[in-house]
Chains A and B, each alone.
Chain A
Amino acid sequence: MTVMAQEAPGMGRGSRQGSLYDTIELILDKGIVIDAFVRLSLIGIELIKLEVRVVIASVDTFLRYAETISRLEYQRATPDPLTRLVPPPAIERGAAVMPDGLITKVPAQSKMEK
């Protein structure tokens, strides 16, 4: 059968935007694995993967997250008097998941207010 010949219908269609960016996770995580074979070290590849995630999820999202987390870190470093009055054990018991400082600050600046 020669369906896959050079001029096969359908072969050249489709979008090829950002070719490596959209296929890197397939190239790295799919495909045949033969246990007896060795694998090239992928240490440097992690950085490329991060780059890819930035491109795909769009830079904006990442920068927004970074900005949010820095703001929270800043608030944690300089708690206002009200936050300081709350005894730490109470915070931990009430909302174990949240880092201290979040509890009084987040809702006040939440996007939902808009």
Chain B
Amino acid sequence: MSGAGIYVYGIVRADHPCRLGDLPGIADVLAQGRGAGVWRVAAASTAAVVSTAPAQPRAKRRDLLVHQAVLEAVWRQGPVLPMRFGTLARSEAHLRTELATSARQHREALDRVEGCGEVNVKLLPDEELLIHQVAHADSTVQRLIHGVSGNYTAKLRLGEAVATALAERTTADTGQIAGSLARFAVRTAPAPAVQGCAMNTSFLVNLRSMDGFLASAAKLEAGLGPRYRWRITGPMPPYSFTRWTE
């Protein structure tokens, strides 16, 4: 059973309640609830939330969902530092040594995310609508539109002007949005680039400021109209805020 190692979900304080009931661990889904579940391994004022590692060496979609569900449940009961998905420790002893070594850093990081949740905001531009708006507002584009005949070079210049105006517009919009939302957040972190997103940013928001944050997002969305599609996810465990230097 321990041959495959121990799957680590996240790090909490040693006094975290961790009441997870029958919540299945990553290896339990196939065992249909008869697995060992999720437990804690404590060392030096911190603890790791762990379970048996999956039997198969390759991660599956259901593993992602279990990882997410466990962290969500733990986070609802107290601060947690999520591990990156797929982290395995060789043994409990090995894990304890590691926890003891970094206990102080983890405590500090836990203090920083206490009472907070991560909210991820993605903005997907409606390019056609934006091109339309930009074409009417940008003087260079206007000038070039009238100069375009069947000439290839003229078309290229127009295309370039549209691309530039488009980039300027989205940069200005997303800058304004990120700035306004940051006022309700403890911290901001860029999220990994996602195809088609003009902005993909995570905010660490104190749960007491959550209403203000979401109301501000709703207001900004209404103000900008249909040129962006918004995807707001959270609050959730602070995946992007485990390290303060990032």
Contacts and interface: CB of A to CB of B under 8 A. Distances in A.
Given A4-B78, A4-B114, A107-B155, A9 B207 contact: yes
A53 B191 CA distance: 14
B185 interface: no
8 contacts: A1-B115, A4-B114, A10-B206, A11-B235, A31-B82, A31-B242, A41-B59, A48-B61
B195 A41 contact: no
B121 to A, nearest CB: 10
Given A33-B84, A34-B87, A38-B88, A11 B207 contact: yes
A78 B179 CA distance: 51
Nearest to A8: B207
For the complex, would chain A's binding face be called helix, strand, loop or mixed by DSSP majority?
loop
B100 interface: no
Nearest to B106: A32
B168 interface: no
A112 B208 contact: no
A1 B59 contact: no
A19 B122 CA distance: 13
Contacts of A33: 83-84, 87
Interface string B113-129: 01101111010100000
A57 B33 CA distance: 36
Nearest to A5: B77
Given A4-B79, A5-B77, A10-B207, A45 B159 contact: no
Interface in B196-219: 196-197, 200, 202, 205-211, 214
Contacts of B146: none
Interface residues of B, number: 76
A56 B124 contact: yes
Nearest to B236: A23
A77 interface: no
B58 A41 contact: yes
Given A13-B211, A40-B59, A57 B120 contact: no
Contact of A11 (B58, B88, B117): B117
A91 B219 CA distance: 51
Contact of A22 (B57, B233, B243): B233
Contacts of A41: 57-59, 86
A43 interface: yes
Nearest to A11: B207
B89 interface: yes
Interface in B80-113: 81-90, 94, 98, 102
Contacts of B192: 25-26, 29-30
